[in-house]
Amino acid sequence: MQSSRARVIIMNAALGPLDYRVPHGMTVGPGSIVVAPLGPRQLLGVVWEADRLPTEEVGDNRLRNLIGVMDAPPISAPLRRLIEWTADYYLAAPASVLRMALASTSALEGARTTLEYRATGEVPQRLTPQREQALERIGERQGSIRELAAMAEVSDAVLRGLVKTGAIESVEVDLDAPFPIPVADFAPPELALRQAEVAGVLRDAVAEHAFRPFLLDGVTGSGKTEVYFEAVAEAIRARRQTLVLLPEIALTQPFLARFAKRFGCEPVAWHSDLRQSQRRRAWRAISSGEALVTVGARSALFLPYANLGCIIVDEAHETSFKQEEGVHYHARDVAVMRGLFEKCPVVLASATPAIETRHQVELGRYTELKLPGRFGKAELPTLEAIDMISDPPERGRWIAPKLVKAIDATLERKEQVLLFLNRRGYAPLTLCRNCGHRFQCPNCTAWMVEHRLTSRLACHHCGHTMPTPRICPECREEDTLVACGPGVERIADEAAALWPEARTAIVTSDTLWSPARAAEFVRRMEAGEIDIVIGTQLVTKGYHFPNLTLVGVIDADLGLEGGDLRAAEKTFQQIMQVSGRAGRGEKPGTVYIQTHSKDAPVMQALVTGDAESFYAAETDARRDADAPPFGRYAAIIVSSEDKEAAQLTATAIARAAPDIADMMVFGPAPAPLAMLRGRHRFRLLVHARRALAVQDVIRDWIGALNWSPKVRVAVDVDPYSF
Ligand code: ADP
Ligand code: ZN
């Protein structure tokens, strides 16, 4: 009897599919989530169609029995196809992709309830410094002992001690507590004519339940969110699930609030900041189909939705949709594939679509839906360049006189200002004025960035920090360290010196690291408690502050350095995005762009508003270079703590490269971050014609080689920056 055997993808990326015997009385089929033995261990796995995963046949007598089947719906056929496609396209192990679908194994445990802990407000008699720190940091938050201990940076034992004293109590959390159900017609907006047309197209597509990719292309403030909410409403009416992907978890909080206004309750949120119990509850509701709308970061893409009816990718051009670790996938592209397999529409919403996405429209694969103007009385802001060569700031300052004047006038009118600089910390480089010593990260090829708020130097790549020294470690002189160049903290200092009365706020991942922090920032902005925001890209997206009328881009040239293929495109998107924060209400907005390259095509496009010619020129340049979306790149990154081993392997891979007319291999060369987290990195860049199935070539080529276990080889198909 053939059904007594099952082919299983086991949760171990190093292993291929394995066959098991299905014991008497156990029923499994494709998609079943099972527990299987592996050596002395028990691992989760998923049963797969044997004919789709060829492997060496093992004789019946050598098969081991499956141990059990999880009490969860099987992984559906559309998701199985998506997992196969992703593993194939991005050259990843199916198990690594599957891991994202199962999210966390504990989500599968049968328990209906779990215990969490929170402070009672009682102060223990013996208040050690550790206990004090724990209670202070935990505040009103709740979580498992381990989560609270991590949050408070104390040991589990400290917390258990606090439980004994009664300062912390346990609460039972119902893991099956139902989520509220969004109401399609709770508070529908009155749509403008063009908005209504576009919403109608999206509604029909959802009702049809067929794969249709859309580019929802509208300037910032045109009502894209309002319009795609109509697609969500239609899916709710049909009792099918919607997934809304957002680029940053900092954006979820305002989104949740806005969603609740429209649909009467919040959607289910999925992001890395969830507690274990929240994760478990959300996973179960998503896999049962009970969670009608899920909003999440890219990791929400692979969850086992029971009946997906609509996928939205908001701010679809955002680079954070590209995952750079583990499975190197692009969530925007995988979202479209998921729509294909699930047979549902996919809406990519953006004010500045990526050239790749526009190209799909030109090829007729995606339908473009345009919202040309801002909604209501709001006008698009005017953009003006400030030439930092002819109109420079005073010595030691970074805000040019013209922008200073504009800020004066804006504050005078009691309106809000946003100063944008995509650099965290105080200064990007610290050096000794006496001996020239520069502070470099011991683990990475990167300078340490000074953070004055915490009095530390930090590496923005690996997170390594150290107290800012007063004495140069090289020449031993005291107080000789100087900060070079500006970061947001330095701009905040300058603003405080120029406008001592103004209330400033710094918005970066250092200050807005949780959804609660983000919500608090929004509240203060809306209440008018902030006059000047100084922020990184984190503040450029999604927010809607009607009283914010002036945006100053401190260094528009920042992204143009380095000769990246996408440098001009990214600069354009980022400045358009931050400009979009200005003048969203009834008052008009103005944007000043400080630049040293006023005549660069991207600056010209920004000030003239002629996006079309800019995109056309960029697209032509890509076509000429046979760069994406025309040709294709793949990067092969070879890394090791042992530099020589990495280099040897990289060279061996380059030597073994097959000689194929449609493919060129460059390198190996030190990767852009030649050392990262203590690992030396070498890179080969593969350039291939579109027609070539380059993944198959790379699989055969690299698959035939062996290397030392000290060396890691990762392939990044469609790498984002190089
Ligand atoms: P986008 O997503 O394109 O930036 P939004 O959907 O955020 O635009 O809309 C911008 C602002 O205009 C929001 O405050 C939104 O609530 C408002 N708005 C857009 N369309 C309508 C409408 N039809 N009725 C009421 N308010 C609208
Ligand atoms: Zn580092």
Q: Could you tell me which residues come within 8 angstroms of residue 493 by beta carbon, excluding any fewer than 6 positions away? A: 426, 452
Residues 691 and 712 in one domain: yes
**Cα 718 from Cα 702, distance rounded (Å):** 17
Ligand 1 atom with minimal separation from the 195 CA: 23
- Amino acid sitting at position 623: R
Specify if 701 maps to a domain: yes
- Mean pLDDT, the chain, whole residue set: 91
Q: Count how many Cα atoms sit within 13 Å of the Cα of residue 716 in the half-sphere of its side chain.
A: 20
> How much is the pLDDT for 60?
81
Per-residue confidence band for 563, with pLDDT thresholds at 50, 70 and 90: low
State the distance from the centre of ligand 2 to the C-alpha of 405, rounded, in angstroms: 39
Ligand 1 atom with minimal separation from the 222 CA: 3
State the distance from the centre of ligand 2 to the C-alpha of 321, rounded, in angstroms: 23
Residues 152 and 272 in one domain: no
Instruction: Look at the chain and report how many structural domains it folds into.
Output: 5
Residues 636 and 599 in one domain: no
Per-residue confidence band for 1, with pLDDT thresholds at 50, 70 and 90: very low
Residues 286 and 357 in one domain: yes
Residues 559 and 682 in one domain: no
Could you tell me if 556 and 354 are in contact, meaning their C-beta atoms sit under 8 angstroms apart?
Answer: no
Ligand 1 atom with minimal separation from the 258 CA: 16
Q: Could you tell me which residues come within 8 angstroms of residue 392 by beta carbon, excluding any fewer than 6 positions away? A: 400
Specify if 610 maps to a domain: yes
Ligand 1 atom with minimal separation from the 378 CA: 12
Residues 157 and 43 in one domain: no
State the distance from the centre of ligand 1 to the C-alpha of 702, rounded, in angstroms: 50
Q: Which ligand is nearest to the CA of 679?
A: 2
Residues 155 and 269 in one domain: no
Which residue, 410, 399, 467, 398, is CA-closest to 439? 467
State the distance from the centre of ligand 2 to the C-alpha of 516, rounded, in angstroms: 28
CATH number at residue 208: 3.40.50.300
Residues 405 and 317 in one domain: no
Per-residue confidence band for 106, with pLDDT thresholds at 50, 70 and 90: low
- Binding-site members for Zn(2+) are 432, 435, 441, 444, 459, 462, 472, 475
User: Which residue, 560, 594, 620, sits at the end of a domain?
Assistant: 620
State the distance from the centre of ligand 1 to the C-alpha of 628, rounded, in angstroms: 33
CB atoms within 10 A of CB 647: 17
Q: Which ligand is nearest to the CA of 373?
A: 1
Taken in order 659, 662, 667, 672, the sign of the CA dihedral is negative
> How much is the pLDDT for 501?
95
CATH number at residue 166: 1.10.10
CATH number at residue 23: 3.40.1440.60
Mean pLDDT of 591-595: 96
Residues 543 and 686 in one domain: no
User: Structural domain of residue 639, as residue ranges?
Assistant: 631-717
CATH number at residue 706: 3.30.70.600
Could you tell me if 334 and 718 are in contact, meaning their C-beta atoms sit under 8 angstroms apart?
Answer: no
Ligand 1 pocket residues where CB is under 6 Å:
189-192, 195, 218, 220-226, 375, 544
- pLDDT tens, residue by residue, 503-551: 999 999 888 877 778 888 989 999 999 999 999 988 887 788 989 999 9
- Binding-site members are 432, 435, 441, 444, 459, 462, 472, 475
Taken in order 100, 105, 106, 110, the sign of the CA dihedral is positive
Per-residue confidence band for 111, with pLDDT thresholds at 50, 70 and 90: confident
Residues 515 and 606 in one domain: yes
**Cα 580 from Cα 351, distance rounded (Å):** 9
pLDDT at 696 over 60: yes
State the distance from the centre of ligand 1 to the C-alpha of 645, rounded, in angstroms: 55
Could you give the C-alpha distances from 136 to 116, 147, 454, in angstroms and in order?
Answer: 18, 15, 18
- pLDDT tens, residue by residue, 28-85: 999 999 999 999 999 999 999 999 988 887 888 889 999 999 888 999 999 999 999 9
Residues with CB under 5 A from ligand 2 (ion): 441, 443-444, 459, 461-462, 464
Specify if 219 maps to a domain: yes
Global pTM reads 0.90
Residues 199 and 285 in one domain: yes
Per-residue confidence band for 558, with pLDDT thresholds at 50, 70 and 90: confident
Q: Which two tokens stand for residue 62?
A: 């050598």
Alpha carbon nearest to ligand 1 atom 20, residue: 223
- pLDDT tens, residue by residue, 387-429: 999 999 998 899 999 999 999 999 999 999 999 999 999 998 8
What percentage of the chain reaches a pLDDT higher than 70? 98
Ligand 1 atom with minimal separation from the 314 CA: 2
Q: Which ligand is nearest to the CA of 460?
A: 2
**Cα 652 from Cα 668, distance rounded (Å):** 10
